[in-house]
Structure formats: structure tokens, C-alpha cells
Amino acid sequence: MPGSFHSSANDTSSTYKLGDFCIDEYRPIRVVVIGAGFSGITAGIRFPQKIPKVDLTIYEKSAGAGGTWFNNRYPGLACDIPAHCYQLTFEEKRDWSAFYAPGSEIREYLQGIVDKYKLMRYIKLRHEMVQAKYDEPSGKWHLRVRRPNPETGVLEEIEDVADVLVTAFGSLTRWRLPDIEGINDYKGQLHHSAGFDPLDKTWQEVADAWSDKKVGVIGVGSSALQLVPALQPRVSKLVNYVRGQTWLAVPFAANTFANLLGRDPGAAEDFTFTEEERERFRTDPEFYKKFRYTLETEINSLHSSTLQGTPMQEMGRELFRKNMEKKLAKKPEILKTLLPDFPVACRRLTPGPGYLEALCEDNVDFVSTPIKRFTEKGIELADGTQHDLDVVFCATGYDTSFQMPFDIIGRNGVKLNDKWNPHPVHYLSVCVEDFPNMFMSLGPNSGVGSGSLLALIEFEILYACQAVAKMQRERLKSMEIKAEAQRDYDQYLENYFPKSVYAAKCRSWYKAGKEEGRIVGLWPGSTLHALKSLEHPRWEDYNYEPLDPVENRMYWLGDGQTYAEKTLTGDRAWYLAEEYIDRPPDSSEFLSSAAK
């Protein structure tokens, strides 16, 4: 009858006891983030914003925050996509000095965010993760961290424990010198681009001492394309050693850039903002918003160029070929060596402003003969030619195998490096089976071939925040992706890439430095596709363990009240606050929307 409860054979109401807590009387939860680059900085903002009673620590092995932008200082370092598309959605910078911002400005931008949100209360610098091991009985991560002793400076290991572990260190962090015979015999200045340290000087001040020097640059990737034009006017002789081929893009959105600024089309490749333009960005919010939104829309419209045989791919190939041909007219023999036979974007595509022009200067040699070995004085080629060099930069990339420099050990003693051999497996780039309560930003397949990388970073961090909020709200000890969910995602990933240009034969960090093989660096789809995939988590794809020893999945409902009601404090009509009200459009807008 209405209003009555009926017992049944499996009724456990006589043994079940309500929790002695309110539904929103959240338990403290400890989150440890590894890395303080863009991902870690975003985590430092979002976790305290989204998770009540969070105890957050961000371990960073370097001496400053900023990740790759703190550590990289090489000559010519700059962003190779428009600066206005390389900033967090909620943190605008209105005074970029150039369309492709120099590395020093990006470093300052990140430090400004750290200062604004007072993130140093969470960030521990010069703290390097040694081991992360999951403890199944407690559902916690046990961590070992190496740091200098605060008083003596001597390295020591400390221990920490976390409910949730977030890896936020990306793939372009572990650089390595090339395996070339005799490299340790070379007596000149030897630098890896990622390891160049100007100490207390700018790179320009260091390069001022090289005006009478012969300098070699090994490589033709993104770093080399910036090093060569930066060094060329500052040195006596520059030799660029190039093993492979690469496409040089027409600078992204250059014509749009010129049109938005009201410039003559002939100035489309002058990428420095005038003081008047910078002042307009600072003082005209609508102009700034339109400029940023238009550029972001344009870079998010390039996805079809990454698919084999599309009109946009073929158009790009012809456009870039003509551009390279025009700029190398003075030294057409370079074009024959440099122009690829693989599709545009098979390797990471960059505009490389000034690179082709620098190759045509009289003090630059382009050498495609393979390097045989280093000598004490320089480099010997395979044909026996000797080059004496005072300074050599190895722009030879990173270890992108996703084999970690420290052990991450999950359930049943499974090591992540073993799990990811011969290649990484994961779910949506954010988590891995056998590794409960662990989430990733910039993990495997998190890069983008077109579109906004920073938007993807933000959504990956917000995904982790939603997971932690679920753990806290529903009193979960652990959550772990199901094996079948990871398997199904892997099947999707394997079937996506064959239709893309990334599957063509070319050596790329997308394939962990190989010419052929599994794509481990890029999201299997567009950037907008990634954002839609991560926006609303599929919680049914996870297995869960309860925090409390109670065999009732609804135990988290507590004692039937909220904390504000129990204590008669706080907001007890919060659903009327403006941010909670979902206002429908007026009748005409509603009918128009429904018709679509």
C-alpha cells in the first residue's frame, strides 16, 4: 500500500547502518602531481578550485616552474604556432611581442601564472621522482622523491603517500645526444639544443662571443629550424648537417594575421607586433577577442590536411613545395635534398620562419653527406671530408619511447615500463589498466597534429579533477579502467591511424623516432574530437573499490542531509545562485534552436 515499505527475502535493512556523515562532508584527499610545466601548473589551479579539502603537492625536478619552457634556452627558441593560440583559455596575455613568441616570453607568462595563483605553496622545486608504487590494501600511492637537503644541500630521498597520482611531465623532456662515434673526443663546445644553458646570460649575449666562430647544427627538426636562422647572422660560418627531409610550411595563418591587423599582404611574414598593435591588444578587448578567436578557429580547421589524399593535403603539398622552391632559388640543390616524398605533416610540421632564407646566405653550408664521426676539432663525413668547428649544436630530439626514467609500479607489481613495452597502451591517453588512481596529462597519444595543444591539456586535467571528485563524493578507495575498455580504445586507435598521413614512411617522434610503426605521440583524431571525448567521462568504463567496509553501494549518501543543514551554516539556497541556474532562451530563440 502507498507509504509502506515491504521487506523481502534479501532485505538487509536490519543490518545496514547509515553513515555518520553528510553527503557533502567530504574526506580530505591527497593528490600528488609530477611535473610543473603547463600541465602541472594547470593542475595547481584546477584541483584546489574543483576539489574541496584537497591536499596538493606538485613535484618538479628542475629549479623552476615551466617544464620544457623553463629548461630550454637555446638560440632562437620560440613557439612555432601563433602565440595567441598557445595560452590557457582562462589566462590571456595581451602583450606578446611577436606572432611566434620567443621562449623567454612564454617562460615569463608561465611564471606570471604561478605567481598570480600563488602556486609555489604547492610546487616543490628540485624534487625528482624516484619511484611510485601502488599499495593495494590501502589504495594509496607510496612515493620516493630525491631532493637536496634543505640545510646541507646533500641529495637525500624522502617518502610521501598520495590517494591520487597525476603524471604531468610530457614526452619532450628527456633529451639525448646522438650516438655518433667520437663524440666524447670533441674538444669544442658541444651542446644539445635542450641542454644549452646560458647561465646568467641571454642566448644572444652568449652568441655575441661567436662572431668569429664556425658553428655546426645537426638536425632538421623544429629546434634546428630555429637555431639556424638565429645563429646565422651572429657567426662566421654555420654548417647545417641534415640527414632527412622535411616540409617547411607556409607560416600558419599568416594572411589571416595580416588581414586582422590591417597590414599590407606583403608584410604577412613580418611576425613582430608593432607597439601600436600591442597597445591595441591591451586596450581593445573586443579586437583582442576577435583576433584570438579567429586564429583559434583557423588552426582548428586544418584536420583534413592530416588525412591521406584529401584536397587540403594535396593543396598543402603543392603550396609548400612552391614556397620552398621560391625561397631556395639561390641554392636550388638544397631543395632536391630537403623536399620530402612523404605527405605533409607525416613529420611534425613547422613554418620555420627564416630557416630557408638562412640556408641561402653565403656563410651557411647545407650538408647532407652522412656524418661518420666526431674528431677532436670537429666532424668527419662519410666521404672523408673534415670540418673544423668551434661549436656544435645537436638538435637531435628526445627519447619519445615513453619508457620512464623511474619505476611506476601498479597493481600486482606490474611496472609501467613493462606494460608499455613494445609500445604504450592506455585509455584515452589519461589512464592505464593495473594503475588505479593514476591519471595522465600529455601521456601517450596526447600530442596534436593540428589545433590547440593547450586546450587538450586543460581537458585532460579537468578529466582527472572529475575523477577525483567522484572518488571523494562517492567514498571510493580506488578506480581503475577496465581491461575491456582499454582494449576497445586500443582497437579504435590502431584502426584510425592507417588513414592518416602519420602512417606514411618518415622518421618522426610521433613513432618514437622510427620510420615506421605504431603512432605513440598523437591523439587519434582532431583536437576538437579529443575535447569532446574527454568532456564527459564514461564512468561505466571503470572498476571501483569502496573506501568503507560496507556492502552497500549507496553508503556515500550518508545520513540524509547536507553539511550546511546539519550545522545551519553556509548557503542553503545555493541552487538559486546565478552560476547554477540554467536559463533557457526566450521563446523565439528556443523555437529557432529546436528547429535545428
Virtual torsion, Cα 86, 88, 89, 93, nearest 10 deg: -70
Q: Is pLDDT of 568 > 60?
A: yes
Q: What is the pLDDT of residue 427?
A: 98
Tens of pLDDT, residue by residue over 209-240, are 999 999 999 999 999 999 999 999 999 999 99
Per-domain residue ranges for the chain? Answer: 29-65+119-173+402-546, 189-250+304-394, 254-296, 555-591
Q: What is the pLDDT of residue 253?
A: 72
Nearest C-alpha neighbor of 210 from the set 225, 230, 195, 186:
230
Going by their DSSP bridges, the two strands 164-167 and 189-192 should be labelled as unpaired
Name the pTM for this structure: 0.95
Nearest C-alpha neighbor of 441 from the set 35, 62, 32, 31:
35
SS3 label, residue 189: strand
Q: Is pLDDT of 596 > 90?
A: no
Q: What is the pLDDT of residue 251?
A: 76
Tens of pLDDT, residue by residue over 153-163, are 999 999 999 99
Distance CA 352, CA 217 (A): 15
Q: What is the pLDDT of residue 181?
A: 98
Percentage of the chain beyond pLDDT 90 is: 88
Work out the average pLDDT over 97-122: 97
Going by their DSSP bridges, the two strands 364-367 and 237-241 should be labelled as parallel
Tens of pLDDT, residue by residue over 272-292, are 999 999 999 999 999 999 999
Which element (helix H / strand E) includes 486?
Answer: helix 483-496
Tens of pLDDT, residue by residue over 478-526, are 999 999 999 999 999 999 999 999 999 999 999 998 999 999 999 999 9
Q: What is the pLDDT of residue 586?
A: 81
Distance CA 186, CA 373 (A): 10
Q: What is the pLDDT of residue 1?
A: 38
Q: What is the pLDDT of residue 592?
A: 66
Q: Is pLDDT of 3 > 60?
A: no
Q: What is the CATH number of domain 189-250+304-394?
A: 3.50.50.60
SS3 label, residue 30: strand
Distance CA 520, CA 251 (A): 26
SS3 label, residue 99: coil
Virtual torsion, Cα 504, 508, 512, 518, nearest 10 deg: -10
Written in H, E and C, the secondary structure of 46-95 is HHHHHCCCEEEEEEECCCCCCCHHHHCCCCCCECCCCHHHCCCCCCCCCC
Neighbouring CB atoms inside 10 A of 313's CB total 19
Q: Is pLDDT of 10 > 60?
A: no
All three cell numbers of 438, joined, read 593514476
Work out the average pLDDT over 363-371: 98
Work out the average pLDDT over 335-356: 94
Q: What is the full DSSP assignment across 540-566? A: GGEEEEESSS-S-TTGGGTTSS-HHHH
Query: Could you give the maximum distance between any two Cα atoms of the chain, in Å?
Result: 98
Q: Is pLDDT of 250 > 90?
A: no
Residue 133, beta-bridge partner list: 142, 409
Q: What is the pLDDT of residue 255?
A: 79
Q: Is pLDDT of 534 > 90?
A: yes
The vertex-543 CA angle with 537 and 548, nearest 5°, equals: 110
Spell out the CATH class of 29-65+119-173+402-546: alpha beta
Per-residue confidence band for 591, with pLDDT thresholds at 50, 70 and 90: low
Percentage of the chain beyond pLDDT 70 is: 96
Distance CA 176, CA 399 (A): 7
Work out the average pLDDT over 294-321: 95
Work out the average pLDDT over 573-595: 81
Q: What average pLDDT does the structure give for the chain?
A: 94
Work out the average pLDDT over 254-267: 82
Same CATH fold, 189-250+304-394 and 29-65+119-173+402-546?
A: yes
Range in 13-27, 29-43, 403-417, 475-489 with the lowest mean pLDDT: 13-27
Distance CA 301, CA 320 (A): 18
Helix 103-116, helix 38-50: angle, nearest 10: 20
Q: Is pLDDT of 252 > 80?
A: no
Work out the average pLDDT over 311-320: 95
Nearest C-alpha neighbor of 77 from the set 53, 60, 101, 56:
101
Which element (helix H / strand E) includes 258?
Answer: helix 254-261
